[in-house]
Amino acid sequence: MAGETLAAGGYSLLALWGEPDCVHLSFWDAGSGAAAVMTLPCPEGRFPSIGRLHPPALRLERTIHDLFGLAAEESPDARPWLDHGVWETRFPLGKTSPSSGPTPYPFLPTEGEELHQVPVGPVHAGIIEPGHFRFTAAGETVVRLEERLGYVHRGVEGLLRGEDLEQAAALAARISGDTTAAYSSAFAQAVEAALDVEAPSLAHWLRALCVETERVANHLGDIGAICNDAAFARMHAFCSVLREKILRAADLCFGHRLMMDQIIPGGMRTVPPGEALRKLRELSEEITASLPGILQVYETTPSLQDRVVGTGVLSRALASQYASGGVIGRASGRLFDARCHLAYPPYSSLRFSVPVREEGDVDARISIRIREVEQSLDLIRQIIDGLPEGPASKPLPQERVAPGEGVALVEGFRGDLFAWVRLDERACVERCHFRDPSWFQWPLLEAVVYGNIIADFPLCNKSFNCSYSGHDL
């Protein structure tokens, strides 16, 4: 039923994940603005495939099979996804069985004259994360890209089982280093929901300060890096100076350049000194003042515009079908932002706009990033000016708590990331699941590259900037 409504576009798929004997499905109903979680027990080790009706669920179902051994019935794609056949056991989080060893991965067949294949990765040429891309090209034009991921699967969900909240928070902070603040915030909010406690108001505001600072730093890095892939290195140099300044300001505020381990269940580990906040505020003004220059250079450099306009177009229909969040969805006309659609604190008290474009090309994704940097810098100033009084954390119950579950959806720089946790009576993690925004963006990169030349792949790829570590977990 839910599968049909998802396929018809009535709901947006938020997450689909497993446990040893059941699967959970979470979706967002745009009509009512509500999110829900459904659970289906799988005593037979099987569940009806949702991917059969709604392709965005396919990789999630393959993952559920790899980790838990639960099979999606009638799935059109039952190939393994994260399991490359080199773990010691199969189904490591379910009923384990010895691994039968690696088998060749069956890439999708391609037929046609004069097609050639270009395999790339898992080790790439630059300083980036590992993954495999299999291009099929006719001359220079890509006729198919197939991704193979899972290389940085570290088994985070397995490690989280049974951990106390401090250790679990440290793991959550290391799922994806570029999104450490947003992951920590999502984990903290899910835990607080499970324990039915509310973090102090100051903590909400400081969390938002971290997440917005993280968004500015990453977007600046991406704007420069995309331009660099179009051979426009000066923008890269300039943006990397601004990014470095932001990281240094974050370091002054929180004692860590990426603000790792600062957001914890119950509140914040540190409260930034007033002087550091003043510096961050000043810097936000400095960067805001340089944005018109960035935009002007970007828009008036013909060699750059020539590469980005009309390149790597993602249709609105696909962005909506995949409920693709963040810059990628919003550059293709899908207006969703957890900060306004779920209005979790403190965003209900802050003023900001969410830029949307319809073109869906590399240009739209760059422009949206520039606008989002502007919005986030303004948010940083509003937050610093409006920081409430009071404590920044509250002690959490340590043991003999009522076991409970909690979910959270947090808008990180790539889009909405989903967290779910179930705590036991000692307030330790019994089970935990994270769904990175990239799950619903990676498959679209395959679609976007179709018909482009191989040489434009780096541009398309960088304009998506999907996470490997957050996806592979």
Q: In the complex, which residues of this chain contact ligand SF4 (CB under 6 A)? A: 174, 177
Tell me if 152 contacts other proteins by CB under 8 A. yes
Residue 251 has a CB neighbour count (10 Å cut-off) of 14
Binding-site size for other proteins (CB under 8 A) equals 57
Tell me if 180 contacts other proteins by CB under 8 A. yes
- Alpha carbon distance 346, 111 (integer Å): 54
Tell me if 241 contacts other proteins by CB under 8 A. yes
Residue 397 CB, shortest distance to ligand SF4, in Å, is 29
Site for other proteins in 442-471 (CB under 8 A): 467-469
Residue 161 CB, shortest distance to other proteins, in Å, is 11
Q: Is 425 left (phi over 0), alpha (psi -120 to 50) or beta?
A: alpha
Contact 79, 62 (CB under 8 A): yes
Identify which of residues 99 and 320 has a Cβ nearer to other proteins in the complex: 99
- How distant, in Å, are the alpha carbons of 8, 48, 105, 321 from that of 1? 11, 11, 32, 17
- Tell me the two tokens of residue 320: 């909506």
Residue 178 CB, shortest distance to ligand SF4, in Å, is 10
What binding mask, one character per residue, do residues 50-89 give for other proteins by CB under 8 A, x or -?
Answer: --------------------------------x-x-xxxx
Calculate ∠ Cα 471-103-90, nearest 5°. Answer: 60
Residue 342 CB, shortest distance to other proteins, in Å, is 26
Any long-range contacts for 20-24 (C-beta under 8 Å, 24+ apart)? 20/68, 20/93, 20/94, 20/95, 23/47, 23/64, 23/70, 24/420, 24/433
Q: Is 356 left (phi over 0), alpha (psi -120 to 50) or beta?
A: beta
Contact 388, 205 (CB under 8 A): yes
- Tell me the two tokens of residue 54: 């709604």
Identify which of residues 185 and 284 has a Cβ nearer to ligand SF4 in the complex: 185
Give the residues across from 420 on adjacent strands.
407, 433
69 makes contact, choosing from ligand SF4, other proteins, none, with CB < 5 to 8 Å by partner type, with none
Residue 208 CB, shortest distance to ligand SF4, in Å, is 23
Which position among 237, 335, 402, 453 is part of the footprint of other proteins (CB under 8 A)? 237
Name the residues that contact other proteins, by CB under 8 A: 82, 84, 86-89, 92, 122-123, 125-130, 150-156, 158-159, 167, 170-171, 174-178, 180, 221, 234, 237-238, 240-241, 243-244, 247, 257-258, 260, 290, 293-294, 296-297, 299-300, 302, 305, 467-469
